[in-house]
Amino acid sequence: MYATAEVVFYALAAAASALVLAATFVVIRSERPRTNGIAFLSGFVFGTVIACGLGLAIGQAAVARFDSHETFKAVAALGLGLILLAVGVRTGQAVSPGSVARSSRASAIVDGLRNVGPAASFSMAGLLGFGGPKRLVLTVLAMASVTSAGLRDVVDGALVGAYIAVSTALVSVPIGIVVIGGQRADAILLRGQSWLSEHSTGLRRWLSIVIGGALVVDGLLRLLI
């Protein structure tokens, strides 16, 4: 039960990405929303599955490097949490060259999805699904929780499946609305995209602070208990 809670927590933290949501809105409001949307979702899930495989391998290797998975998970959670807190505090303040570069890369990803076909959507989504540093570390932490649980293979597989489902929900839900609702979903999606554009900075700030703070607490508790 504890392993399940850990995996779900890491999956929710990985799913909470303003960049991924913005990219999803761009894809589903393109000229071929259903085709590109399905390709984007497939690529995103594929990238996440690859990251999970890497995370399981790292989780197994951590046993030989550390006394337990808990030490590995504590160090990784604490480090990522401190980085996210720093990013959250700096978001919205004076713009630094580093933040401009990160913003430019994010804009390039979103802009690159505006006029591409299914194959390119799949490829770019695969990179997003595999993740940047934040998503990849959270995936590794989740898979370490799976390997340290010592449960049966069927249960381990279910935990991995739960992680994939939750961590990709921010992509699968909007695309599911498009596939089912078609043009009737345009009004809902337009409102969602407008809200995201207006609140993107604040959303990134508070997501970084909340997730970073939770990871710092998680890491400290693992080191102290």
Sequence-separated (6 or more) residues with CB below 8 Å from residue 138: 10, 11, 13, 14, 80, 131, 167
Quickly count: other Cβ atoms within 10 Å of residue 135's Cβ: 24
What is the reported pLDDT for 87? 86
Residue 82's pLDDT is 93
Give the whole-angstrom CA distance, residue 19 versus residue 35: 21
Residue 97, pLDDT score: 46
User: What pLDDT does residue 58 have?
Assistant: 80
Q: Domain segments of the chain: what residues?
A: 2-224
Q: Map residue 124 onto helix, strand or coil.
A: helix
Inter-residue contact 89 to 128 (CB < 8 Å): no
Q: What averages of pLDDT result for each successive group of 10 residues across the chain (225 residues)?
A: 84 90 86 89 96 85 62 85 89 51 58 78 92 90 79 76 95 90 73 76 86 91 79
